[in-house]
Amino acid sequence: MARIRAFENAAEAASQGGVSAYGKSADGHAKVRGPLHLSTGQEAVPAGVCVHLGPKDYITSTHRGHGHTLAKGASMERMMGELFGKASGFNGGKGGSMHIADFSVGMLGANGVVAAGLPIAVGAAHAQKLLGRDDVTVCFFGDGAINRGPFLEALNWAQVFRLPVLFVCEDNRWSATTASGPMTAGEGASERAQAMGIESMRVDGNDVMAVHQAALDLLLAVRSGAGPRLLHAITYRVKGHVSVDLAAYRDPDELAAALLTDPLLRARKMGQGLPGCESLAFDAMDAQAQAEVASALASAEAAPWPEAVSAFTDIQTTGAGTWH
């Protein structure tokens, strides 16, 4: 959680122009290229879930994919390089924040299309089953995705074929700049899953230990061949829709109340009195995370820009024309 928070704080500053330690250029221009969607306040969900996954397990993500990517074990330096648009990035600097992917650790990709990760996850899980593998797929998506068609289609397919997939709804209560509650019928993701016969569990998504235990229980069932499961994690997105969105449309009192449930602060409180969880231990974790981020920033700054010819690679031709 500390690594995710430190990374996103640095990326946010770099996207806004930032201060020198966070990547501000000499002319004050932002160094992060393209939109940057932050998951600040939601760190307990990827941390609590991905700790149970191995290298051969898959995940799919959303446009807020930094936390999932780091929790799955991907390189912080390569992700920062991608945000900076550098050749060292996961996609050679061409994808940016919303298209982070690292197949080497089973991270099948962030996705700029809401709900698009759901059918990708189901396809991956179906492949795992057909190949007789014992690994699983975890699909992260937001509460805004449950009102889109792919949610219903993906859950139905997964249940009909009893696929090894855990659906994880990060219910941060906002769909872009609109509150999700007034435009969502019923009680949300978990109840819709249950209507399709998929066992689900609702959990406090800002309590990392609660997420950890719930994910463990659900993943044990998925790995046993019991079919799909759904984890409905109630959390809160404390930043705007993108890094330059001040979220003035949000009730200040709502935000103030949410900040009191910050998952990192709660973890510190839960650790009080436990061996190895002294304040100095938490401070050391934060310091290590900050050092890793500083190294990632330096690496991204020093990395070369993509060659111009790379614009014509990693593309699909429809046969209508020829590139020269």
Q: What is the pLDDT of residues 250-262, one digit of tens each?
A: 999 999 999 999 9
With a CB cutoff of 8 Å and minimum separation 6, the contacts of 41 are 172, 206, 235, 236, 237, 238, 239, 258, 259, 262, 263
Q: If you write DSSP's letter for every residue of 185-196 in order, what string do you get? A: -TT-HHHHHHHT
User: For residues 26 and 94, what is the distance between their CA atoms, to the nearest angstrom?
Assistant: 23
Rounded to 5°, angle at Cα 108 from 102 and 112: 105
The whole-number average pLDDT for the span 24-46 is 84
Which tens digits make up the pLDDT trace of 266-307?
999 998 878 877 788 899 999 999 999 999 999 999 999 999
Percent of the chain at pLDDT above 70? 95
Identity at 15, one-letter amino acid code: S
Tokens 């299309």 found at: 113
At 20, the pLDDT band (50, 70, 90 cuts) reads: very low
Residues forming beta bridges with residue 7, ordered by sequence position: none
User: Helix/strand/coil (H, E, C) string of 112-166?
Assistant: CCCCCHHHHHHHHHHHHHHCCCCCCEEEEEEHHHHHCHHHHHHHHHHHHCCCCEE
Q: Please choose, from the candidates 9, 7, 65, the residue with its C-alpha nearest in 3D space to the C-alpha of residue 37.
A: 65
Which tens digits make up the pLDDT trace of 69-104?
999 999 999 999 999 999 999 999 999 999 999 999
With a CB cutoff of 8 Å and minimum separation 6, the contacts of 106 are 53, 55, 56, 57, 58, 59, 72
Structure tokens at 4: 């995710």
- Supply the pLDDT for residue 89: 97
User: Helix/strand/coil (H, E, C) string of 206-239?
Assistant: CCHHHHHHHHHHHHHHHHCCCCCEEEEEECCCCC
User: E strand or H helix at 168, and its extent?
Assistant: strand 165-171
Min mean pLDDT across 91-95, 154-158, 312-316 is at: 312-316
**Domain 34-247 is classified in which CATH homologous superfamily?**
Thiamin diphosphate (ThDP)-binding fold, Pyr/PP domains (3.40.50.970)
Contact 264, 2 (CB under 8 A): yes
